[in-house]
Structure 1
Amino acid sequence: MQSKEGNLIAAKFVEGQAIKNIEKLAEKHGIQSAVIVSGIGMLKDAVIGYFNGKEYVREKLKEPAELVSMQ
């Protein structure tokens, strides 16, 4: 994991690192709360969800998927 500190922290996670490493990054920089502005990458064994107007529907992705934008 690489990071740069300031008002904005940019981080790059290498393949095989779980998103939970964001918690380690926050701890390293003493962050209590934050907003993820954007992200790209790949998802493996992911569960995605959406609200259909009545409830949240969750679907497990059967194959790896490209994450082209996250905001």
Structure 2
Amino acid sequence: MDRKNISSTMIRSIGYDVDTSTLEIEFNTGAVWQYYDLPESDWHQFDGSASQGKYFHASIKGHFREAQVG
């Protein structure tokens, strides 16, 4: 999945696959996680958020199926 680098204290890069509704996050630790069945509208809110880290903790972590993939 293609990811774009972002400026965040906890997240290095983010990407979204519209066909599978999968969000992929590479954290600054190097770990890569995928979050499944994330609506495209949530992706746009996350991508456009002033703080992706805060949005991640409030609206993604614990709300979607997830798996570490890297």
Q: Same fold (TM over 0.5)?
A: no
Is the helix fraction higher in 1 or 2?
Answer: 2
The TM-score normalised by the length of structure 1 is 0.24
The TM-score normalised by the length of structure 2 is 0.25
**Max Rg structure:** 1
Is the strand fraction higher in 1 or 2?
Answer: 1
